[in-house]
Amino acid sequence: MEYGKASFLKGRISVCRQNFFSRLFKERIFGKCDSCFFSAGATGALIADPYSAAPRGPSRMAASRLPILLAVAFSSLSCILSHSNREMWFQDLFPPNTCPINAKANTFYGIMFDAGSTGTRIHIYTFVQKSPEKLIELEGEIFESVKPGLSAYADQPEKGAETVKRLLDMAIDAVPPHLWKKTPVVLKATAGLRLLSEEKAQALLLEVREVFEESPFLVPEDSVSILDGSYEGILAWITVNFLTGQLSGQNQHTVGTLDLGGASTQITFLPRFEETLKQTPGDFLTSFEMFNSTYKLYTHSYLGFGLKAARLATLGALDMEAVGGQMFRSSCLPKQLEAEWHFGGVKYQYGGNKQGETGFKPCYLEVLKVIKGKLHQPDEIRGSSFYAFSYYYDRAVDTNLIDYEEGGVLEVRDFERKAKEVCDNMERYNSASPFLCMDLTYITALLKEGFGFRDSTLLQLTKKVNNIETSWTLGATFHLLQSLGITY
Protein backbone atom coordinates (compact mmCIF):
# COMPACT_ATOMS: atom_id res chain seq x y z
CA MET A 1 0.00 0.00 0.00
CA GLU A 2 1.37 3.38 -0.94
CA TYR A 3 0.76 6.27 1.38
CA GLY A 4 3.33 8.57 -0.09
CA LYS A 5 3.32 12.06 -1.54
CA ALA A 6 0.32 12.75 0.58
CA SER A 7 -0.89 15.93 -0.99
CA PHE A 8 -3.81 16.07 1.42
CA LEU A 9 -1.26 16.43 4.12
CA LYS A 10 -0.03 19.69 2.75
CA GLY A 11 -1.83 21.37 5.50
CA ARG A 12 -1.93 22.22 9.07
CA ILE A 13 -3.69 19.83 11.29
CA SER A 14 -5.02 21.10 14.51
CA VAL A 15 -7.42 20.05 17.14
CA CYS A 16 -9.19 23.03 18.49
CA ARG A 17 -12.12 24.03 20.59
CA GLN A 18 -14.90 21.55 21.01
CA ASN A 19 -18.37 22.44 22.17
CA PHE A 20 -20.96 19.87 22.92
CA PHE A 21 -24.65 19.41 23.04
CA SER A 22 -26.91 16.52 22.68
CA ARG A 23 -29.14 15.54 19.81
CA LEU A 24 -29.08 12.13 18.22
CA PHE A 25 -27.72 9.58 20.72
CA LYS A 26 -28.28 12.49 23.08
CA GLU A 27 -25.03 13.78 21.80
CA ARG A 28 -23.62 15.94 19.07
CA ILE A 29 -20.35 17.70 18.89
CA PHE A 30 -19.60 20.98 17.22
CA GLY A 31 -16.04 21.81 16.39
CA LYS A 32 -15.11 25.45 16.37
CA CYS A 33 -11.56 26.35 15.57
CA ASP A 34 -11.25 29.80 17.00
CA SER A 35 -8.82 28.90 19.69
CA CYS A 36 -6.02 26.46 20.15
CA PHE A 37 -7.27 25.60 23.59
CA PHE A 38 -9.76 22.93 24.40
CA SER A 39 -12.58 24.69 26.11
CA ALA A 40 -13.94 21.69 27.84
CA GLY A 41 -17.32 23.22 28.39
CA ALA A 42 -19.18 20.47 30.09
CA THR A 43 -17.86 18.17 32.73
CA GLY A 44 -19.54 15.36 34.51
CA ALA A 45 -19.38 11.81 35.65
CA LEU A 46 -16.93 9.58 33.90
CA ILE A 47 -18.30 6.61 32.10
CA ALA A 48 -16.93 3.21 32.93
CA ASP A 49 -17.20 1.58 29.52
CA PRO A 50 -16.18 3.90 26.73
CA TYR A 51 -17.55 1.65 24.06
CA SER A 52 -20.97 0.69 25.33
CA ALA A 53 -23.98 1.34 23.16
CA ALA A 54 -25.64 3.37 25.84
CA PRO A 55 -26.00 7.07 25.12
CA ARG A 56 -23.74 9.19 27.21
CA GLY A 57 -23.58 12.76 28.28
CA PRO A 58 -21.32 15.38 26.85
CA SER A 59 -18.62 14.85 29.44
CA ARG A 60 -17.05 12.03 27.49
CA MET A 61 -14.93 14.17 25.23
CA ALA A 62 -14.81 17.17 27.45
CA ALA A 63 -12.45 16.14 30.17
CA SER A 64 -9.22 16.76 28.34
CA ARG A 65 -7.95 20.26 28.67
CA LEU A 66 -4.99 19.51 26.55
CA PRO A 67 -4.46 22.27 24.03
CA ILE A 68 -3.08 21.11 20.78
CA LEU A 69 -2.07 22.11 17.41
CA LEU A 70 -0.63 19.47 15.18
CA ALA A 71 0.62 20.92 11.99
CA VAL A 72 1.76 19.77 8.62
CA ALA A 73 3.97 22.42 7.10
CA PHE A 74 3.69 22.18 3.34
CA SER A 75 4.39 18.59 2.44
CA SER A 76 6.13 17.66 5.64
CA LEU A 77 4.17 16.93 8.71
CA SER A 78 5.21 18.87 11.74
CA CYS A 79 3.65 19.52 15.02
CA ILE A 80 3.83 23.10 16.06
CA LEU A 81 2.13 23.25 19.37
CA SER A 82 1.42 21.40 22.46
CA HIS A 83 0.73 22.97 25.81
CA SER A 84 -0.04 20.52 28.48
CA ASN A 85 -1.11 20.96 32.04
CA ARG A 86 -0.11 17.41 32.80
CA GLU A 87 2.93 15.28 32.28
CA MET A 88 3.02 13.32 29.07
CA TRP A 89 6.03 11.35 28.02
CA PHE A 90 6.03 12.90 24.57
CA GLN A 91 5.61 16.37 26.00
CA ASP A 92 9.07 17.65 25.10
CA LEU A 93 8.76 16.54 21.53
CA PHE A 94 6.31 19.24 20.51
CA PRO A 95 7.87 22.42 19.17
CA PRO A 96 6.56 25.77 20.43
CA ASN A 97 3.09 27.15 19.99
CA THR A 98 1.72 28.71 16.85
CA CYS A 99 -1.97 29.45 16.65
CA PRO A 100 -4.09 30.26 13.60
CA ILE A 101 -6.49 33.09 14.26
CA ASN A 102 -8.41 33.26 11.01
CA ALA A 103 -11.64 31.51 11.97
CA LYS A 104 -13.26 31.61 8.49
CA ALA A 105 -13.25 27.94 7.85
CA ASN A 106 -13.92 25.59 4.99
CA THR A 107 -14.83 22.33 6.61
CA PHE A 108 -14.39 18.77 5.30
CA TYR A 109 -15.51 15.52 6.83
CA GLY A 110 -14.47 11.89 6.57
CA ILE A 111 -16.52 9.03 8.01
CA MET A 112 -14.71 5.83 8.97
CA PHE A 113 -16.45 2.81 10.51
CA ASP A 114 -14.48 0.30 12.54
CA ALA A 115 -16.40 -2.98 12.49
CA GLY A 116 -14.50 -4.69 15.30
CA SER A 117 -15.14 -8.13 16.73
CA THR A 118 -16.78 -6.73 19.88
CA GLY A 119 -18.45 -3.61 18.53
CA THR A 120 -19.00 -1.26 15.62
CA ARG A 121 -17.74 2.30 15.91
CA ILE A 122 -18.13 5.43 13.85
CA HIS A 123 -15.40 8.07 13.68
CA ILE A 124 -16.45 11.30 12.00
CA TYR A 125 -13.33 13.42 11.43
CA THR A 126 -13.57 17.12 10.77
CA PHE A 127 -10.90 18.94 8.77
CA VAL A 128 -10.76 22.66 8.13
CA GLN A 129 -9.07 24.61 5.38
CA LYS A 130 -9.14 28.34 5.91
CA SER A 131 -7.94 29.31 2.43
CA PRO A 132 -6.54 27.37 -0.56
CA GLU A 133 -2.95 28.33 0.17
CA LYS A 134 -3.32 27.77 3.89
CA LEU A 135 -2.58 24.66 5.83
CA ILE A 136 -5.36 22.22 6.63
CA GLU A 137 -6.38 21.38 10.16
CA LEU A 138 -7.77 18.27 11.78
CA GLU A 139 -10.36 19.92 13.92
CA GLY A 140 -11.76 17.03 15.85
CA GLU A 141 -13.57 13.77 15.95
CA ILE A 142 -17.06 12.61 16.75
CA PHE A 143 -17.07 9.09 18.05
CA GLU A 144 -19.84 6.66 18.93
CA SER A 145 -20.15 2.89 19.16
CA VAL A 146 -22.61 0.06 19.40
CA LYS A 147 -22.28 -3.48 20.74
CA PRO A 148 -22.16 -6.27 19.76
CA GLY A 149 -20.03 -6.28 16.62
CA LEU A 150 -21.22 -7.23 13.13
CA SER A 151 -20.02 -10.83 13.47
CA ALA A 152 -22.68 -11.41 16.13
CA TYR A 153 -25.20 -10.97 13.28
CA ALA A 154 -23.61 -13.62 11.10
CA ASP A 155 -27.02 -15.22 10.52
CA GLN A 156 -28.98 -11.96 10.38
CA PRO A 157 -26.99 -9.69 8.08
CA GLU A 158 -29.86 -7.20 7.73
CA LYS A 159 -30.01 -6.72 11.49
CA GLY A 160 -26.25 -6.23 11.53
CA ALA A 161 -26.48 -3.57 8.86
CA GLU A 162 -29.20 -1.88 10.90
CA THR A 163 -26.65 -1.21 13.66
CA VAL A 164 -24.46 0.53 11.11
CA LYS A 165 -27.41 2.57 9.89
CA ARG A 166 -28.11 3.81 13.42
CA LEU A 167 -24.56 5.10 13.66
CA LEU A 168 -24.68 6.57 10.17
CA ASP A 169 -27.76 8.56 11.14
CA MET A 170 -25.48 10.29 13.58
CA ALA A 171 -23.27 11.42 10.70
CA ILE A 172 -26.31 12.74 8.87
CA ASP A 173 -26.92 14.86 11.90
CA ALA A 174 -23.29 15.94 12.26
CA VAL A 175 -22.34 16.75 8.67
CA PRO A 176 -24.02 19.79 7.09
CA PRO A 177 -26.33 18.73 4.21
CA HIS A 178 -24.41 20.68 1.56
CA LEU A 179 -21.31 18.57 2.35
CA TRP A 180 -22.99 15.15 2.36
CA LYS A 181 -22.12 14.40 -1.27
CA LYS A 182 -18.47 15.30 -0.71
CA THR A 183 -18.11 13.32 2.50
CA PRO A 184 -16.77 9.79 1.97
CA VAL A 185 -18.07 6.94 4.10
CA VAL A 186 -16.11 3.72 4.53
CA LEU A 187 -16.41 0.66 6.75
CA LYS A 188 -13.54 -1.68 7.44
CA ALA A 189 -14.10 -4.87 9.37
CA THR A 190 -11.41 -6.55 11.43
CA ALA A 191 -10.92 -9.92 13.09
CA GLY A 192 -14.58 -10.74 13.84
CA LEU A 193 -15.38 -10.93 10.14
CA ARG A 194 -12.02 -12.46 9.26
CA LEU A 195 -13.03 -15.43 11.41
CA LEU A 196 -16.43 -15.89 9.77
CA SER A 197 -16.98 -17.99 6.67
CA GLU A 198 -16.46 -16.04 3.44
CA GLU A 199 -20.16 -16.41 2.63
CA LYS A 200 -21.41 -14.99 5.95
CA ALA A 201 -18.88 -12.19 5.98
CA GLN A 202 -19.78 -11.16 2.44
CA ALA A 203 -23.51 -11.22 3.21
CA LEU A 204 -22.92 -8.78 6.07
CA LEU A 205 -20.72 -6.52 3.96
CA LEU A 206 -23.29 -6.50 1.17
CA GLU A 207 -26.05 -5.35 3.52
CA VAL A 208 -23.83 -2.61 4.88
CA ARG A 209 -22.97 -1.50 1.37
CA GLU A 210 -26.71 -1.13 0.69
CA VAL A 211 -27.07 1.06 3.76
CA PHE A 212 -24.25 3.24 2.46
CA GLU A 213 -25.73 3.41 -1.06
CA GLU A 214 -29.02 4.60 0.40
CA SER A 215 -27.26 7.31 2.39
CA PRO A 216 -26.56 10.78 0.98
CA PHE A 217 -22.78 10.40 1.45
CA LEU A 218 -20.02 9.76 -1.06
CA VAL A 219 -19.63 5.97 -1.33
CA PRO A 220 -16.24 5.14 -2.84
CA GLU A 221 -15.59 1.90 -4.63
CA ASP A 222 -14.59 -0.76 -2.12
CA SER A 223 -16.19 1.29 0.65
CA VAL A 224 -17.09 -1.82 2.65
CA SER A 225 -14.40 -4.42 3.12
CA ILE A 226 -12.33 -6.53 5.50
CA LEU A 227 -9.16 -4.74 6.55
CA ASP A 228 -5.98 -6.71 6.10
CA GLY A 229 -4.42 -7.45 9.49
CA SER A 230 -1.06 -5.89 8.67
CA TYR A 231 -2.68 -2.63 7.56
CA GLU A 232 -4.60 -2.60 10.84
CA GLY A 233 -1.25 -2.41 12.65
CA ILE A 234 0.29 0.09 10.23
CA LEU A 235 -2.71 2.42 10.28
CA ALA A 236 -2.82 2.43 14.09
CA TRP A 237 0.93 3.15 14.13
CA ILE A 238 0.35 6.08 11.74
CA THR A 239 -2.43 7.43 13.94
CA VAL A 240 -0.41 7.32 17.14
CA ASN A 241 2.83 8.62 15.65
CA PHE A 242 1.00 11.33 13.74
CA LEU A 243 -0.94 12.51 16.78
CA THR A 244 2.17 12.55 18.93
CA GLY A 245 4.07 14.50 16.28
CA GLN A 246 6.59 11.75 15.59
CA LEU A 247 6.21 11.72 11.84
CA SER A 248 7.55 15.23 11.48
CA GLY A 249 10.90 16.90 11.18
CA GLN A 250 14.38 15.45 11.38
CA ASN A 251 14.44 13.95 14.84
CA GLN A 252 11.78 11.35 14.56
CA HIS A 253 11.43 9.13 17.60
CA THR A 254 8.60 6.94 16.48
CA VAL A 255 6.91 4.71 19.02
CA GLY A 256 5.82 1.15 18.57
CA THR A 257 2.15 0.26 19.02
CA LEU A 258 0.36 -2.66 20.61
CA ASP A 259 -3.34 -3.16 19.92
CA LEU A 260 -5.22 -5.91 21.74
CA GLY A 261 -8.64 -6.46 20.18
CA GLY A 262 -11.27 -9.06 20.91
CA ALA A 263 -10.20 -11.51 18.22
CA SER A 264 -6.78 -10.38 17.07
CA THR A 265 -3.75 -8.48 18.31
CA GLN A 266 -1.22 -6.35 16.48
CA ILE A 267 2.37 -5.30 17.13
CA THR A 268 3.96 -2.60 14.98
CA PHE A 269 7.23 -0.70 15.21
CA LEU A 270 9.91 0.89 13.07
CA PRO A 271 13.05 -1.27 13.37
CA ARG A 272 16.17 0.71 14.15
CA PHE A 273 18.71 -2.03 13.61
CA GLU A 274 19.72 -3.70 10.38
CA GLU A 275 19.94 -6.93 12.35
CA THR A 276 16.20 -6.80 13.08
CA LEU A 277 15.41 -6.51 9.38
CA LYS A 278 17.63 -9.50 8.66
CA GLN A 279 16.12 -11.65 11.40
CA THR A 280 12.49 -10.85 10.58
CA PRO A 281 10.39 -13.01 8.25
CA GLY A 282 9.55 -11.09 5.07
CA ASP A 283 5.81 -11.06 5.67
CA PHE A 284 6.33 -9.18 8.96
CA LEU A 285 7.85 -6.20 7.12
CA THR A 286 5.86 -3.65 5.11
CA SER A 287 7.17 -0.52 3.41
CA PHE A 288 5.09 2.56 2.87
CA GLU A 289 5.72 6.18 2.12
CA MET A 290 4.15 9.00 4.03
CA PHE A 291 4.91 12.61 4.82
CA ASN A 292 7.78 12.46 2.33
CA SER A 293 9.46 9.62 4.18
CA THR A 294 9.57 5.91 3.52
CA TYR A 295 9.02 3.67 6.51
CA LYS A 296 9.78 -0.01 6.61
CA LEU A 297 7.68 -1.25 9.48
CA TYR A 298 7.67 -4.46 11.41
CA THR A 299 4.00 -5.33 11.77
CA HIS A 300 2.01 -8.45 12.42
CA SER A 301 -1.58 -9.24 13.26
CA TYR A 302 -2.15 -12.46 15.20
CA LEU A 303 -5.62 -13.72 14.39
CA GLY A 304 -7.17 -15.63 17.29
CA PHE A 305 -4.91 -13.90 19.84
CA GLY A 306 -7.30 -11.12 20.77
CA LEU A 307 -8.41 -11.12 24.40
CA LYS A 308 -11.74 -12.83 23.84
CA ALA A 309 -10.46 -15.36 21.35
CA ALA A 310 -7.72 -16.14 23.88
CA ARG A 311 -10.37 -16.83 26.53
CA LEU A 312 -11.86 -19.45 24.22
CA ALA A 313 -8.44 -20.90 23.44
CA THR A 314 -7.60 -21.12 27.15
CA LEU A 315 -10.93 -22.83 27.81
CA GLY A 316 -10.26 -25.18 24.91
CA ALA A 317 -13.37 -23.90 23.16
CA LEU A 318 -11.86 -22.09 20.19
CA ASP A 319 -12.93 -24.80 17.78
CA MET A 320 -16.58 -23.86 17.42
CA GLU A 321 -17.56 -27.29 16.09
CA ALA A 322 -16.76 -28.79 19.48
CA VAL A 323 -19.13 -26.62 21.52
CA GLY A 324 -22.49 -28.51 21.70
CA GLY A 325 -23.55 -28.01 25.36
CA GLN A 326 -20.09 -28.81 26.71
CA MET A 327 -18.87 -27.17 29.94
CA PHE A 328 -15.42 -25.58 29.62
CA ARG A 329 -13.47 -25.26 32.87
CA SER A 330 -10.38 -23.33 33.83
CA SER A 331 -8.17 -22.66 36.85
CA CYS A 332 -8.34 -18.98 35.86
CA LEU A 333 -12.00 -18.76 36.88
CA PRO A 334 -13.65 -18.62 40.32
CA LYS A 335 -14.03 -22.19 41.65
CA GLN A 336 -17.82 -22.23 42.01
CA LEU A 337 -18.59 -20.30 38.85
CA GLU A 338 -20.85 -21.79 36.15
CA ALA A 339 -22.11 -19.42 33.52
CA GLU A 340 -22.77 -18.77 29.83
CA TRP A 341 -20.88 -16.48 27.50
CA HIS A 342 -21.78 -15.28 24.02
CA PHE A 343 -19.06 -14.40 21.56
CA GLY A 344 -19.23 -14.10 17.78
CA GLY A 345 -22.84 -15.32 17.84
CA VAL A 346 -21.95 -18.57 19.65
CA LYS A 347 -22.98 -19.53 23.19
CA TYR A 348 -20.39 -21.10 25.50
CA GLN A 349 -20.84 -22.66 28.94
CA TYR A 350 -17.89 -22.21 31.20
CA GLY A 351 -16.94 -22.55 34.83
CA GLY A 352 -14.23 -22.85 37.50
CA ASN A 353 -12.22 -25.91 38.51
CA LYS A 354 -14.63 -27.09 41.21
CA GLN A 355 -12.30 -29.77 42.57
CA GLY A 356 -8.94 -28.77 41.16
CA GLU A 357 -6.58 -25.85 41.48
CA THR A 358 -7.24 -22.18 40.88
CA GLY A 359 -4.97 -19.15 41.09
CA PHE A 360 -2.20 -17.43 39.20
CA LYS A 361 0.28 -20.31 38.90
CA PRO A 362 -2.02 -22.93 37.32
CA CYS A 363 -3.72 -20.21 35.30
CA TYR A 364 -0.41 -18.98 33.89
CA LEU A 365 0.45 -22.53 32.82
CA GLU A 366 -2.93 -22.87 31.10
CA VAL A 367 -2.54 -19.59 29.28
CA LEU A 368 1.04 -20.41 28.28
CA LYS A 369 -0.24 -23.35 26.28
CA VAL A 370 -2.10 -20.89 24.08
CA ILE A 371 0.91 -18.63 23.55
CA LYS A 372 4.18 -20.54 23.88
CA GLY A 373 6.13 -20.67 20.65
CA LYS A 374 3.31 -19.14 18.58
CA LEU A 375 4.61 -15.58 18.24
CA HIS A 376 7.68 -14.08 16.64
CA GLN A 377 9.98 -12.36 19.15
CA PRO A 378 12.02 -9.52 17.69
CA ASP A 379 15.06 -8.94 19.94
CA GLU A 380 14.95 -5.20 19.37
CA ILE A 381 11.73 -4.62 21.27
CA ARG A 382 12.90 -6.03 24.57
CA GLY A 383 14.11 -2.73 25.88
CA SER A 384 11.85 -0.37 23.87
CA SER A 385 8.79 1.53 25.06
CA PHE A 386 5.46 0.96 23.34
CA TYR A 387 2.08 2.61 23.13
CA ALA A 388 -0.61 0.13 24.13
CA PHE A 389 -4.34 0.54 23.76
CA SER A 390 -7.68 -1.30 23.41
CA TYR A 391 -7.92 -4.14 25.94
CA TYR A 392 -4.50 -3.37 27.44
CA TYR A 393 -6.03 -0.04 28.38
CA ASP A 394 -9.42 -1.37 29.46
CA ARG A 395 -8.03 -4.03 31.79
CA ALA A 396 -5.53 -1.60 33.30
CA VAL A 397 -8.43 0.75 34.03
CA ASP A 398 -10.60 -2.06 35.44
CA THR A 399 -7.90 -2.89 38.00
CA ASN A 400 -7.02 0.71 38.88
CA LEU A 401 -3.56 0.43 37.38
CA ILE A 402 -4.32 3.62 35.42
CA ASP A 403 -6.92 6.36 35.43
CA TYR A 404 -9.75 6.05 32.89
CA GLU A 405 -9.29 9.55 31.52
CA GLU A 406 -5.57 10.08 31.90
CA GLY A 407 -4.18 6.65 31.01
CA GLY A 408 -0.63 6.26 32.27
CA VAL A 409 2.73 4.59 32.00
CA LEU A 410 3.12 1.03 33.30
CA GLU A 411 5.82 -1.60 33.29
CA VAL A 412 5.05 -5.07 32.00
CA ARG A 413 5.58 -6.38 35.54
CA ASP A 414 2.63 -4.25 36.76
CA PHE A 415 0.25 -6.46 34.78
CA GLU A 416 1.83 -9.56 36.35
CA ARG A 417 1.57 -8.13 39.85
CA LYS A 418 -2.09 -7.33 39.27
CA ALA A 419 -2.76 -10.74 37.73
CA LYS A 420 -1.34 -12.43 40.84
CA GLU A 421 -3.37 -10.21 43.12
CA VAL A 422 -6.63 -10.93 41.27
CA CYS A 423 -6.08 -14.65 40.58
CA ASP A 424 -4.98 -15.46 44.12
CA ASN A 425 -7.93 -13.58 45.63
CA MET A 426 -10.75 -14.33 43.21
CA GLU A 427 -13.46 -14.10 45.84
CA ARG A 428 -12.44 -10.46 46.48
CA TYR A 429 -12.90 -9.64 42.82
CA ASN A 430 -16.23 -11.46 42.56
CA SER A 431 -18.18 -8.42 41.45
CA ALA A 432 -15.79 -7.71 38.57
CA SER A 433 -15.78 -9.78 35.39
CA PRO A 434 -15.27 -13.50 36.12
CA PHE A 435 -12.62 -13.38 33.39
CA LEU A 436 -10.51 -10.70 35.07
CA CYS A 437 -7.89 -13.18 36.31
CA MET A 438 -7.70 -14.93 32.95
CA ASP A 439 -7.50 -11.65 31.02
CA LEU A 440 -4.71 -10.19 33.15
CA THR A 441 -2.79 -13.46 33.08
CA TYR A 442 -3.16 -13.62 29.31
CA ILE A 443 -1.94 -10.03 28.90
CA THR A 444 1.07 -10.81 31.12
CA ALA A 445 1.93 -13.97 29.21
CA LEU A 446 1.35 -12.34 25.82
CA LEU A 447 3.73 -9.51 26.63
CA LYS A 448 6.43 -11.63 28.29
CA GLU A 449 6.30 -15.04 26.66
CA GLY A 450 4.59 -14.02 23.43
CA PHE A 451 6.37 -10.88 22.28
CA GLY A 452 9.35 -11.33 24.63
CA PHE A 453 9.17 -8.00 26.46
CA ARG A 454 11.19 -7.47 29.64
CA ASP A 455 9.48 -7.06 33.01
CA SER A 456 10.75 -3.49 32.98
CA THR A 457 9.50 -2.58 29.48
CA LEU A 458 7.50 0.63 29.62
CA LEU A 459 4.02 0.77 28.17
CA GLN A 460 2.21 4.05 27.57
CA LEU A 461 -1.44 3.14 28.06
CA THR A 462 -3.45 5.45 25.85
CA LYS A 463 -7.08 5.73 24.85
CA LYS A 464 -6.85 9.11 23.23
CA VAL A 465 -3.95 11.25 22.12
CA ASN A 466 -4.81 14.93 22.09
CA ASN A 467 -8.47 14.00 22.43
CA ILE A 468 -8.50 11.83 19.30
CA GLU A 469 -9.13 8.10 19.66
CA THR A 470 -6.02 5.96 19.25
CA SER A 471 -7.47 3.79 16.54
CA TRP A 472 -6.35 2.70 13.11
CA THR A 473 -9.31 4.66 11.75
CA LEU A 474 -7.50 8.03 11.55
CA GLY A 475 -4.64 6.49 9.55
CA ALA A 476 -7.25 4.84 7.33
CA THR A 477 -9.03 8.16 6.82
CA PHE A 478 -5.78 9.82 5.72
CA HIS A 479 -5.31 7.05 3.22
CA LEU A 480 -8.91 7.33 2.06
CA LEU A 481 -8.71 11.08 1.49
CA GLN A 482 -5.46 10.65 -0.36
CA SER A 483 -6.82 7.93 -2.61
CA LEU A 484 -9.87 10.07 -3.41
CA GLY A 485 -7.67 13.03 -4.26
CA ILE A 486 -9.36 15.12 -1.63
CA THR A 487 -6.44 17.45 -1.18
CA TYR A 488 -5.98 20.34 1.10
Binding residues for ATP: 262-266
Contact by Cβ (8 Å): 378, 268? no
According to CB under 5 A, which one of 11, 116, 233, 256 is a site residue for Ca ion? 116
Annotated catalytic residue: which of 232, 366, 416, 449? 232
Closer CB to ligand IDP, 215 or 473, in the complex:
473
Report what 469 binds from ligand IDP, Ca ion, none; CB cut-off 5-8 Å by kind. Answer: ligand IDP
Cα(436)–Cα(423) distance, integer angstroms: 8
Cα(27)–Cα(29) distance, integer angstroms: 7
Residue nearest to ligand IDP (CB): 261
* Spatial CB neighbours of 317, under 8 Å, sequence gap ≥ 6: 323, 326, 328, 348, 350
Q: How far is the CB of 391 from ligand IDP (least distance, A)?
A: 4
Q: Is the dihedral of CA 481, 95, 59, 241 positive or negative?
A: positive
Residue among 412, 295, 439 at smallest CA distance from 2: 295
Q: Considering the rule CB under 6 A, would residue 459 count as an interface residue with ligand IDP?
A: no
Q: Considering the rule CB under 6 A, would residue 449 count as an interface residue with ligand IDP?
A: no
Number of residues that bind Ca ion (CB under 5 A): 2
Q: How far is the CB of 335 from ligand IDP (least distance, A)?
A: 27
According to CB under 6 A, which one of 81, 128, 154, 191 is a site residue for ligand IDP? 191
According to CB under 6 A, which one of 110, 140, 192, 345 is a site residue for ligand IDP? 192
Q: How far is the CB of 76 from Ca ion (least distance, A)?
A: 30
Contact by Cβ (8 Å): 89, 409? yes
Q: How far is the CB of 308 from ligand IDP (least distance, A)?
A: 8
Q: Considering the rule CB under 6 A, would residue 378 count as an interface residue with ligand IDP?
A: no
Site for ligand IDP in 30-59 (CB under 6 A): 51
* Spatial CB neighbours of 151, under 8 Å, sequence gap ≥ 6: 117, 192, 193, 195, 196, 204, 344, 345
* DSSP class of 304: T
According to CB under 6 A, which one of 215, 390, 444, 477 is a site residue for ligand IDP? 390
Active site residue 139: no
According to CB under 5 A, which one of 192, 229, 261, 271 is a site residue for Ca ion? 261
Contact by Cβ (8 Å): 100, 137? yes
Is residue 162 classed as helix, strand or coil in its secondary structure? Answer: helix
Residue among 211, 200, 208, 209 at smallest CA distance from 154: 200
Which residues are marked as active site? Answer: 232
Binding positions for ligand IDP, rule: CB under 6 A = 51, 114, 116-119, 121, 149, 190-192, 261-264, 306, 389-391, 394, 463, 469-471
Binding positions for Ca ion, rule: CB under 5 A = 116, 261
